[in-house]
Structure 1
Amino acid sequence: MVSPRGIGTFVVWDYLVFAGMLLISAAIGIYYAFAGGGQQTSRDFLMGGRSMTAVPVAMSLTASFMSAVTVLGTPSEVYRFGAIFSIFAITYFFVVVLSAEVFLPVFYKLGITSTNEYLGLRFNKYVRLCGTILFIVQTILYTGIVIYAPALALNQVTGFNLWGAVVATGVVCTFYCTMGGLKAVIWTDVFQVGIMVAGFASLIIQAALIQGGIGTILNDAYNGARLNFWNFNPNPLQRHTFWTIVIGGTFTWTSIYGVNQSQVQRYISCKNRFQAKMSLYINLVALWLILTCTVLCGLALYSRYRDCDPWTAKKVSAPDQLMPYLALDILQDYPGLPGLFVACAYSGTLSTVSSSINALAAVTLEDLVKSRFQSLSERSLSWISQGMSVLFGALCIGMAALASLMGALLQAALSIFGMVGGPLLGLFALGILVPFANSIGALVGLLAGFTISLWVGIGAQLYPPLPERTMPLSLETYGCNSTYNGTDWMTTTEVPFSTSAFQVYNIERTPLMDNWYSLSYLYFSTVGTLVTLFVGMLISLSTGGRKQNIDPRFLLTKEDFLSNFDIFKKKKQVLDYKSHPIEDDGTDNPGFNHIELNCTDQSGKINGTRL
């Protein structure tokens, strides 16, 4: 039951903890701006010199997309719709296996910097340009959401000016990303994952102490129908079921982990393919840990407010403010801990935004600058990379204004990845898995997939599904001690799913709205991927795709799977792979091959494989 004395406020210790997180993040950026001679080349800035190892990259992968959207959105999701969200643990397993065994081998052996380089090599420059534009639009939109999310939390719990917090987020991220490049991004991510776990742990432990133990929390959740793990309804119109989460979630998150530049750029910066794959599998364990924390926080929210919902009682204005409300409620007797939670939310945002800025700079440099200005020196390219980081940081801050109109943060974020990421996943899968796919099929398939996914995605924003599709659970206020506008709150309500500012009201529902526009948002990506693949294959077959002679390096081959066992015969494999010896402290990352081989053979005759 809610404490009669109400929630607490920020004190000096909270501000110090929060400021300390910001200062350490900035200091890491400054350190890597000068360590080892600084960011001398664009490869140093964008790829960390391709010398990273598995553990820090794994933590960075976790931080990059376990953002403030996760910290704030997932617990409120569990609070309102139940713990079925935990089925994503199965989804994450499939996502990591697909990313590590299907997409990583092809990207890694080509030694590319931008994933869109693959599209240019496999198809043509027009397909590559389409991929670049879609990635830039998708990333800026998503980053706007994750900048807005912690600003909302800060505004709720501290009274900070909302847009002042938005600008501060963007400025800090842009600073250390521009100063230290990818190495700074990865190591700040490692630090920020620690802050995120500490923030979650403080809330879970204190909630367990106040509510009488984890057993009590789970019992309250059971009595409130929150332990709804196994809904096997195959209806694709139901928002969350086992099938929508496992099938739709796998497509949605594979579009992030498998082909999204922000994630791929991290694991192909590893010094060898074994480290790259290990980073993904270690990251899987970290994803499970964060998911467990967020689900427990959501159940703790319900146990605490099961008879007095702060949202229905107008104590918070949006579901995404429930977590900071809980933090100030139960941690008010421990100065510094509310600040730790806000630092937790803020860390999620800093990691994601910095990753996005770095990825946007990499894509712009590789796909738009280098292809047109081939005579630029490495030093010039490094300066351009840093300039791009500043530019995209400013754009992402501006996009946060749009995010304030998009309703529930978690669904808005995943919807964007579904609408744009699905067709892109289909495009890359077409190139890697379908030998007869050609550039005409790729372009037409991408256009078809994007059109269909955009149609259903925008329709769902304008005409949101009815409660029988989203299935919100009961929220009660009979235990509240306060009144609102002179009226006692003694009601049980099913609050409808939070809708966007673009919703069209007072219109008669049609079968199109109740069926097509009510498709689970997790299937947006599935539809986009499958339409792109199907149309792409059909058009390729009808335009002579089977007559192509495709370089096997651009396809997933049996050798790519067998190379998993090369770790047991590493020395032999490396010597066969290159025609020149490798020093003990060197790297076998193929991203270096063209540089090393060009240096050893000035005659232009390349001995060995140039990737």
Structure 2
Amino acid sequence: MDVPRGIGTFSVWDYVVFAAMLLISAVIGVYYAFAEGGQQTSKDFLMGGRRMSAMPVAMSLTASFMSAVTVLGTPAEVYRFGAIFSIFAITYVFMVVVSAEVFLPVFYKLGITSTYEYLELRFNKCVRFCGTILYIVQTILYTGIVIYAPALALNQVTGFDLWGAVVATGVVCTFYCTLGGLKAVIWTDVFQVGIMVAGFASVIIQASLIQGGISTMLNDAYNGGRLNFWNFNPNPLQRHTFWTIVIGGTFTWTSIYGVNQSQVQRYISCKSRFHAKMSLYINLVALWAILTCSVLCGLSLYSRYHDCDPWTAKKVSAPDQLMPYLVLDILQDYPGLPGLFVACAYSGTLSTVSSSINALAAVTVEDLVKPRFRSLSERSLSWISQGMSVLFGVLCIGMAAVASLMGALLQAALSIFGMVGGPLMGLFALGILVPFSNSIGALVGLLAGFALSLWVGIGAQLYPPLPERTMPLSLETHGCNVTYNGTNWMTTTEMPFSTSAFQVHNIERTPLMDNWYSLSYLYFSTLGTLGTLFVGMLISLLAGGRKQNIDRRFLLTKEDFLSNFDIFKRKKQVLSSKSHPIEDGGTDNPAFNHIELNCADPSGKINGTRL
């Protein structure tokens, strides 16, 4: 290998490129603050007036969770653990089909703004409140990781100011979210997806030129054991196998796309259900493209450093810094391109943070403000929505400091979604798929699933699995100019996220730690979902769930599937976006009418059933 002659530093042109990305994002927000009359109502602000088309929404869906976690974390994951991560391509197929065919039809036909409105429609206000609070906590935690971790990685490699980057990210996101609402978020996401692809492409193209082509990179990866696609070991304690990625990954990613407010809010803002479903399926292609780019970047990393690992040689202090290190190594002779990659990483951050801020504002207004202040006008609600965007922007910046305790990127982020998103997905699945489930079963099931996933998730943070479970691949330093501590070879023995401030050291391992706490982090969501479903069904049966009469609109029916073919009928759309009339005060969702009418019923019954 041609040993790097010295890692470059950020030039003026790099800062110009990065600043231009921030400026264009802000300008999009200003444009949508005034375009088409601005944000006159909370629906305009939170849902884009429900007039969005499939393509921009698809790009926004991709950008929302293909964040800096992907840009920095996935290549480092492939570098250390191999290309088995590419099996997520299969996971994405299952995730999109389940989201589009199970959850979307129910959410779209009800005309809801917050997914947690469904929980009150199907169960009661208490279940809705619990779901809302869990979502807010989960999203603020995740957003803290998304803001802090890439800022830290880029700071330590490029010298990019850490807290300057954190505050700039938070301020710009808050600015265009507050001014432009969902339309600004979606169109900046479209722009930022372009930046992400351009940043990835610049690295892949230059790396292949330096290393002698894609075939050489693949050959290096093969010789280093990185092309480990097919590991069919069924052991759930192994971190990444075909089964943990396909089964556990499907549950984890469906909890993100199927019921997470940030994603659902996008596709139900579409002007028809056909556009909503198309946005998910187009998004699948975009997810494959981003995954391919990030895996190729990981293989580029390995080809470049297969005999001189910068992490082992202490040139970087964490795996998340490997991609910025590579960029400054191979692109140092091209002013502006390192800046393009940093813009790529921060585009991912901006898209995710803006999605989170907008979704948090939507959930707070719809679930916590509207039900208690029914006399507020739409204009007032629009101002409150904007105020909530500012508040959550500040909170997310503050959470960035707490996120520094979570360790590194990819696993920490997906673990949070698993621990909280899994039980929430189980709760929605209980309502949509199990006709006899009731509010008592839902609440007990949610608490049981959350306790289960939290138990194993926190245990895994405190007592990380041993290397035989995580299976890191060997890293070499014999090609470096200097050896590290007189050693030319080192096999990694740590968990990728053992930097957690919560890890307990110097303790004797027990069977509980080596088995239960060593469960693959991708199964956290599976555990939470199934725990919520099974306990919820059992308690519902014991609490008389079979005696209730449930409105079929709250369930997934065969008509929902058959309506997929309505597009072929002559101008006949069963589920049209025209079913969203606005009433004076309170909720604007006609699906709540039966609840509002029955609120005065002293018997406490809804649809003739006592809760």
TM-score (norm 2): 0.94
Q: Kindly tell me: are residues 100 and 364 of structure 1, through their superposed partners in 2, closer, same or farther at Cα, counting changes over 3 Å?
A: same
CA drift at 1:568: 1.1
Cα shift readout 1:485-521 (whole Å, capped 9, x = no counterpart): 8988888888876441211001000000000000000
Distance in 1, Cα, partners of 2:497 & 2:486: 27
Q: Kindly tell me: are residues 341 and 109 of structure 1, through their superposed partners in 2, closer, same or farther at Cα, counting changes over 3 Å?
A: same
**Is the CA contact 1:83–1:228 (under 8 Å) kept in the aligned structure 2?**
yes
Distance in 1, Cα, partners of 2:216 & 2:140: 42
Distance in 1, Cα, partners of 2:209 & 2:109: 51
Distance in 1, Cα, partners of 2:605 & 2:240: 57
Q: Kindly tell me: are residues 203 and 218 of structure 1, through their superposed partners in 2, closer, same or farther at Cα, counting changes over 3 Å?
A: same
**Is the CA contact 2:157–2:316 (under 8 Å) kept in the aligned structure 1?**
no
Cα shift readout 1:171-206 (whole Å, capped 9, x = no counterpart): 111111111000000000000000000000000000
CA drift at 1:595: 18
**Is the CA contact 2:405–2:502 (under 8 Å) kept in the aligned structure 1?**
yes
**Is the CA contact 1:432–1:555 (under 8 Å) kept in the aligned structure 2?**
yes
CA drift at 1:163: 1.8
CA drift at 1:408: 2.3
Cα shift readout 1:405-444 (whole Å, capped 9, x = no counterpart): 2122100000000000000000000000000000000000
Distance in 2, Cα, partners of 1:493 & 1:354: 37
Distance in 2, Cα, partners of 1:388 & 1:600: 31
**Is the CA contact 1:199–1:341 (under 8 Å) kept in the aligned structure 2?**
yes
Q: Kindly tell me: are residues 273 and 19 of structure 1, through their superposed partners in 2, closer, same or farther at Cα, counting changes over 3 Å?
A: same
**Is the CA contact 2:375–2:586 (under 8 Å) kept in the aligned structure 1?**
no
Cα shift readout 1:516-568 (whole Å, capped 9, x = no counterpart): 00000000000000000000000000010000000000000000000000111
Q: Kindly tell me: are residues 307 and 26 of structure 1, through their superposed partners in 2, closer, same or farther at Cα, counting changes over 3 Å?
A: same
CA drift at 1:158: 2.9
Q: Kindly tell me: are residues 605 and 206 of structure 1, through their superposed partners in 2, closer, same or farther at Cα, counting changes over 3 Å?
A: same
Q: Kindly tell me: are residues 585 and 459 of structure 1, through their superposed partners in 2, closer, same or farther at Cα, counting changes over 3 Å?
A: closer
CA drift at 1:161: 2.4
CA drift at 1:13: 1.1
For structure 1, the 5+ residue unaligned runs are: none
Cα shift readout 1:352-409 (whole Å, capped 9, x = no counterpart): 0000000000000000000000000111101100000010011111111121121221
Match of 2:46 in 1: 46
Q: Kindly tell me: are residues 492 and 113 of structure 1, through their superposed partners in 2, closer, same or farther at Cα, counting changes over 3 Å?
A: closer
- Which segment drifts farther, 222-231 or 400-409? 400-409
CA drift at 1:585: 27
Partner SS, residue 572 of structure 2:
helix
CA drift at 1:569: 1.6
CA drift at 1:85: 0.2
Distance in 2, Cα, partners of 1:372 & 1:583: 16
Q: Kindly tell me: are residues 600 and 519 of structure 1, through their superposed partners in 2, closer, same or farther at Cα, counting changes over 3 Å?
A: closer
Match of 1:25 in 2: 25
- Which segment drifts farther, 298-307 or 495-504? 495-504
CA drift at 1:156: 2.7
Give the fraction of aligned pairs with identical amino acids, expressed as a percent: 90
**Is the CA contact 2:595–2:606 (under 8 Å) kept in the aligned structure 1?**
no
CA drift at 1:582: 16
Q: Root-mean-square deviation (CA), in Å?
A: 4.6
Q: Kindly tell me: are residues 603 and 380 of structure 1, through their superposed partners in 2, closer, same or farther at Cα, counting changes over 3 Å?
A: farther
Cα shift readout 1:41-81 (whole Å, capped 9, x = no counterpart): 10000000000000000000000000000000000000000
Distance in 1, Cα, partners of 2:411 & 2:526: 15
CA drift at 1:159: 1.1
CA drift at 1:167: 1.2
Cα shift readout 1:328-375 (whole Å, capped 9, x = no counterpart): 000011111100000000000000000000000000000000000000
CA drift at 1:283: 0.1
Cα shift readout 1:251-292 (whole Å, capped 9, x = no counterpart): 000000000000000000000000000000000000000000
Distance in 1, Cα, partners of 2:280 & 2:100: 7
Partner SS, residue 483 of structure 1:
coil
Q: Kindly tell me: are residues 67 and 575 of structure 1, through their superposed partners in 2, closer, same or farther at Cα, counting changes over 3 Å?
A: closer
Residue 178 of structure 2 corresponds to residue 178 of structure 1: yes
**Is the CA contact 1:430–1:437 (under 8 Å) kept in the aligned structure 2?**
yes
Q: Kindly tell me: are residues 548 and 73 of structure 1, through their superposed partners in 2, closer, same or farther at Cα, counting changes over 3 Å?
A: same
Q: Kindly tell me: are residues 70 and 589 of structure 1, through their superposed partners in 2, closer, same or farther at Cα, counting changes over 3 Å?
A: farther
**Is the CA contact 1:425–1:529 (under 8 Å) kept in the aligned structure 2?**
yes
**Is the CA contact 2:464–2:498 (under 8 Å) kept in the aligned structure 1?**
no
Distance in 1, Cα, partners of 2:116 & 2:587: 24
**Is the CA contact 1:10–1:157 (under 8 Å) kept in the aligned structure 2?**
no
Distance in 1, Cα, partners of 2:248 & 2:307: 34
Partner SS, residue 115 of structure 1:
coil
CA drift at 1:149: 2.5
Distance in 1, Cα, partners of 2:587 & 2:383: 26
**Is the CA contact 2:417–2:525 (under 8 Å) kept in the aligned structure 1?**
yes
Distance in 1, Cα, partners of 2:609 & 2:110: 11
Q: Kindly tell me: are residues 579 and 321 of structure 1, through their superposed partners in 2, closer, same or farther at Cα, counting changes over 3 Å?
A: closer
CA drift at 1:3: 3.2
**Is the CA contact 2:466–2:494 (under 8 Å) kept in the aligned structure 1?**
no
Aligned residues: 611
**Is the CA contact 2:431–2:437 (under 8 Å) kept in the aligned structure 1?**
yes
**Is the CA contact 1:29–1:184 (under 8 Å) kept in the aligned structure 2?**
yes
Cα shift readout 1:79-126 (whole Å, capped 9, x = no counterpart): 000000000000000000000000000000000000000000000000
**Is the CA contact 1:270–1:589 (under 8 Å) kept in the aligned structure 2?**
no
- Which segment drifts farther, 348-357 or 145-154? 145-154
Q: Kindly tell me: are residues 126 and 561 of structure 1, through their superposed partners in 2, closer, same or farther at Cα, counting changes over 3 Å?
A: same
Distance in 1, Cα, partners of 2:427 & 2:201: 40
**Is the CA contact 1:472–1:497 (under 8 Å) kept in the aligned structure 2?**
no
Q: Kindly tell me: are residues 586 and 520 of structure 1, through their superposed partners in 2, closer, same or farther at Cα, counting changes over 3 Å?
A: closer
Q: Kindly tell me: are residues 590 and 72 of structure 1, through their superposed partners in 2, closer, same or farther at Cα, counting changes over 3 Å?
A: farther
CA drift at 1:153: 3.4
Q: Kindly tell me: are residues 274 and 584 of structure 1, through their superposed partners in 2, closer, same or farther at Cα, counting changes over 3 Å?
A: farther
Q: Kindly tell me: are residues 544 and 178 of structure 1, through their superposed partners in 2, closer, same or farther at Cα, counting changes over 3 Å?
A: same
Cα shift readout 1:135-163 (whole Å, capped 9, x = no counterpart): 00000000000001221233034312212
**Is the CA contact 1:475–1:494 (under 8 Å) kept in the aligned structure 2?**
no
Q: Kindly tell me: are residues 402 and 602 of structure 1, through their superposed partners in 2, closer, same or farther at Cα, counting changes over 3 Å?
A: closer
- Which segment drifts farther, 445-454 or 5-14? 5-14
Distance in 2, Cα, partners of 1:339 & 1:576: 45
Q: Kindly tell me: are residues 25 and 386 of structure 1, through their superposed partners in 2, closer, same or farther at Cα, counting changes over 3 Å?
A: same
Q: Kindly tell me: are residues 516 and 212 of structure 1, through their superposed partners in 2, closer, same or farther at Cα, counting changes over 3 Å?
A: same
**Is the CA contact 2:476–2:488 (under 8 Å) kept in the aligned structure 1?**
no
For structure 2, the 5+ residue unaligned runs are: none
CA drift at 1:7: 1.1
Distance in 2, Cα, partners of 1:242 & 1:428: 27
Q: Kindly tell me: are residues 610 and 336 of structure 1, through their superposed partners in 2, closer, same or farther at Cα, counting changes over 3 Å?
A: farther
Partner SS, residue 475 of structure 1:
strand
**Is the CA contact 2:411–2:497 (under 8 Å) kept in the aligned structure 1?**
no
- Which segment drifts farther, 599-608 or 204-213? 599-608
Q: Kindly tell me: are residues 588 and 41 of structure 1, through their superposed partners in 2, closer, same or farther at Cα, counting changes over 3 Å?
A: closer
Distance in 2, Cα, partners of 1:165 & 1:347: 12
Q: Kindly tell me: are residues 335 and 593 of structure 1, through their superposed partners in 2, closer, same or farther at Cα, counting changes over 3 Å?
A: farther
CA drift at 1:589: 12
